[in-house]
Amino acid sequence: MSGITFRFSDEQEQFRQTVSRFARERLAPGYLKRSTSRRYPMDLHAEMAALGVLGIGLPEQFGGTGIEDPVLLGIACEEIGAADVNIAAAPVTIGLTGAQLAKGATSAVQQRWLPGMIDGREVVAFGLTEPEAGSDAASMRTTAVPVEGGWRISGEKNSVSHLSAAGATLVYARVPGSERSAGVSAFVVETDRVGVTVGEFTDMGQLPIGRGTLYMDDVFVPTENLVGAEGRAFSMVMGHFDYSRAAIGLQCLGAARSSLAETYSYVKQRRSFGKPIAAFQGVSLPLAEHATLVEAARWLCYRTLWLRQAGLPHTAEAAMCKWWAPVVAKNAIETCLLTHGHYGWSDELPFQQRFRDVFGYQIGDGTAQIQKQVIASRLIGPEVRDR
Ligand SMILES: Cc1cc2nc3c(=O)[nH]c(=O)nc-3n(C[C@H](O)[C@H](O)[C@H](O)COP(=O)(O)OP(=O)(O)OC[C@H]3O[C@@H](n4cnc5c(N)ncnc54)[C@H](O)[C@@H]3O)c2cc1C
């Protein structure tokens, strides 16, 4: 059959079923307990890696799949997100940093980090945001001063997911005197280098992701730790956001999908005024609306990943996924929580936790306002920029 199709390929469907079974059996049962701790479960992370989830699109010589298959990454994020939305962040982070290392790192750095990132022993986190540079990342102040044999890096990356488990962070820094995106380079900064210290956040959700601050005080990194061409890192990372954004959407929608499935079961057995609450349209119709929105957002995300796979433009679509899918997911989960009454509010059920975990994705990887600016500038042109 030619033309449009909304089916995964046989290989993708087989992978989906494998990941889904693992997620249901190994991840779903401990989700709530794990969510209360900042400890990232490296044991489960390695089990997940054994399914090939962390090597999608990364070079075969280091244990990856070799073939870039963004749809497969989306499937992994959705299925894992359905069981534990926090652990589902790992394929996104590893995908984001691993792809940059695979494309631009020296062979020594690739050998050092990529095998462990793919088989689940190591995490390389992603450090772009700074105290004075979030949405406006190009205004970063962290400096990399060229010195004999390498660079000296000073600055602060103050919103690094997975920092608690990371052996290194991919840090973006500028040559002193350079401005905006010009002069920004990327470096692998190992957490145990002299001059590196780490701070922690206690967030509203996503605790196991261990978001933290990386302080760098005149940290020496050797020349070989430069990733990609000198001064070109900004455009490199922006291109990678175009698929992490769709993957994040699916991660959140997975959590919404589970919440809706659990709520459909609940409304059929919970009774009030002598009937199952499913009989009340005040209960069933909002759920129908959320199911519609989740389905629509899900296919937007998969189409975006498919566009990437096909080598077609997808920057605007990725931004659409990023601002919309977390909102759709959060709203669906909120309704599921409310539909469970006081049980939903308690920590005996997962809704309050999923709500808080998904909420953060409205900010991480760029806020809705910034995504809408990306969309507007693609659809209208640079005239729309108000920055
Ligand atoms: C859960 C989570 C995980 C994260 N993980 C990472 C990570 O791993 N690595 C990393 O580097 N960063 C990470 N971040 C940081 C994230 O990318 C930034 O928080 C985000 O880009 C926004 O920057 P900011 O927080 O400094 O907000 P600001 O840029 O200060 O924005 C504040 C508010 O102003 C609005 N705003 C700013 N500029 C404009 C404008 N021009 N027009 C309209 N509104 C505007 C924003 O939308 C926002 O509502 C993470 C954040 C969260 C919450």
Q: Which amino acid is at 195?
A: G
**CA-nearest residue, atom 35 of ligand 1:** 369
Q: Which atom of ligand 1 is nearest to the CA of 370?
A: 47
Q: Say yes or no to pLDDT of 74 above 60.
A: yes
Q: Say yes or no to pLDDT of 1 above 60.
A: no
Q: Say yes or no to pLDDT of 57 above 70.
A: yes
Domain covering 234-384, topology: Butyryl-CoA Dehydrogenase, subunit A; domain 3 (1.20.140)
Give the distance (Å) from ligand 1 centre to CA of residue 80. 25
Cα 146 to Cα 40: distance, rounded to the nearest angstrom: 35
DSSP state of 245: H
Q: Which atom of ligand 1 is nearest to the CA of 131?
A: 26
Give the distance (Å) from ligand 1 centre to CA of residue 232. 22
Contact (CB, 8 A) for 262 and 368: no
Most informative mutation of 40, 100, 130, 135 for ligand 1 (most atoms within 8 A of CB): 135
Report residue 41's pLDDT band, with 50, 70 and 90 as the boundaries.
very high
Is 211's C-beta closer than 6 angstroms to any atom of ligand 1? yes
Is 251's C-beta closer than 6 angstroms to any atom of ligand 1? no
Residue span(s) of the chain under CATH 1.10.540.10 come to 10-122
Cα 287 to Cα 282: distance, rounded to the nearest angstrom: 9
Residue span(s) of the chain under CATH 2.40.110.10 come to 125-229
Cα 150 to Cα 141: distance, rounded to the nearest angstrom: 19
Is 206's C-beta closer than 6 angstroms to any atom of ligand 1? yes
Rounded to 5°, the CA angle 323-17-353 comes to: 45
Residue span(s) of the chain under CATH 1.20.140.10 come to 234-384
Is 309's C-beta closer than 6 angstroms to any atom of ligand 1? no
pLDDT number for residue 345 = 97
Contact (CB, 8 A) for 317 and 303: yes
**CA-nearest residue, atom 26 of ligand 1:** 134
pLDDT number for residue 386 = 57
**CA-nearest residue, atom 5 of ligand 1:** 161
Domain 125-229 indexed as CATH 2.40.110.10: yes
Cα 209 to Cα 207: distance, rounded to the nearest angstrom: 5
Mean pLDDT of 163-191: 96
**CA-nearest residue, atom 4 of ligand 1:** 364
- Looking at every residue in the chain, the average pLDDT score rounds to 96
Is 360's C-beta closer than 6 angstroms to any atom of ligand 1? yes
Cα 38 to Cα 165: distance, rounded to the nearest angstrom: 10
Q: Which atom of ligand 1 is nearest to the CA of 363?
A: 53
Q: Say yes or no to pLDDT of 382 above 80.
A: no
Q: Say yes or no to pLDDT of 383 above 90.
A: no
Mean pLDDT of 299-310: 96
Query: Given the structure tokens 């299925």, which residue do they identify?
Result: 79
Q: Say yes or no to pLDDT of 2 above 80.
A: no
CATH code reported for the domain at 10-122: 1.10.540.10
End-to-end CA distance of the chain: 47
Is 129's C-beta closer than 6 angstroms to any atom of ligand 1? yes
pLDDT number for residue 236 = 86
**CA-nearest residue, atom 2 of ligand 1:** 364
Beta strands, E only, the chain: 124-127, 143-147, 150-160, 168-174, 184-190, 196-200, 212-222, 226-227, 271-272, 275-276
Cα 254 to Cα 330: distance, rounded to the nearest angstrom: 11
Q: Alpha carbon of 96 to those of 36, 69, 129, 367: distances in Å?
A: 26, 14, 15, 18
Report residue 235's pLDDT band, with 50, 70 and 90 as the boundaries.
confident
Most informative mutation of 245, 367, 373 for ligand 1 (most atoms within 8 A of CB): 367
pLDDT number for residue 384 = 76
323-372, pLDDT tens digit by residue? 999 999 999 999 999 999 999 999 999 999 999 999 999 999 999 999 99
Query: Given the structure tokens 């095998």, which residue do they identify?
Result: 115
Q: Which atom of ligand 1 is nearest to the CA of 206?
A: 1
Q: Say yes or no to pLDDT of 4 above 90.
A: no
83-141, pLDDT tens digit by residue? 999 999 999 999 999 999 999 999 999 999 999 999 999 999 999 999 999 999 999 99
